[in-house]
Amino acid sequence: SQKIEQNSEALNIQEGKTATLTCNYTNYSPAYLQWYRQDPGRGPVFLLLIRENEKEKRKERLKVTFDTTLKQSLFHITASQPADSATYLCALGSNYQLIWGAGTKLIIKP
Amino acid sequence: GAVVSQHPSRVICKSGTSVKIECRSLDFQATTMFWYRQFPKQSLMLMATSNEGSKATYEQGVEKDKFLINHASLTLSTLTVTSAHPEDSSFYICSALLTSGAPYEQYFGPGTRLTVT
């Protein structure tokens, strides 16, 4: 069956450093992959989408890579700030259906 | 643009009662909306796909008679939890599908925290 893995342990990063989150998947060939941010008690907020034929996507301090051979996506936040602390979810998509990872909690320490 | 609202944001109800949650797309029309349930520290679990003017499509294991979905207009879908029990307590999130681009994107509401006592 399809499986998405995100690091279940919280990631602690010092302010100003680059945070890197990982999303691995098996038994699936998504047409695209999305990253979302979710704050406690709130719905997910869309951040970035990367298609299967794209290697890398950037948006301000965010960068996403997508390796369909490794079946892995990396999500980077450069010059991290305490306000970046949240849970980050990856979701794999085909047409409009999404399959979700459980998310990784990111904590940026001042 | 592409804002989705949910109401209420929090609701506490007694066991055996029913509660309705509304999901609205505020600045776009959505033929398709989705209802998710999320437990603490877990991923979003798709409950059902709501289609305007037709019956909802429920995921395996989700009781359609317990979780009633109505998508009566292109901007409103409702989820009614009938005869609620404490195990129905959860965070319910809706999303609306924006189909003006490719691939289609889901925009999420802020969620509704349901507590059944």
Chain B nearest-CA residue for A90:
B43
- Mean pLDDT, to the nearest integer, of B94-99? 90
pLDDT, tens digit, for every residue of B43-90?
Answer: 899 999 998 888 899 999 999 999 999 998 999 999 999 999 999 999
Whether the CB of A3 is below 8 Å from some CB of chain B: the reply is no
When computed from its CA atoms, the radius of gyration of chain A, rounded to whole angstroms, is: 13
Put simply, the answer to whether A98 touches B106 (Cβ < 8 Å) is yes
Mind telling me how many Å the CA of B18 is from chain A's nearest CA?
Answer: 22
- Among A41, A51, A100, the residue with its CB nearest the CB of B43 is A100
**B108 closest CB neighbour out of A8, A43, A49:** A43
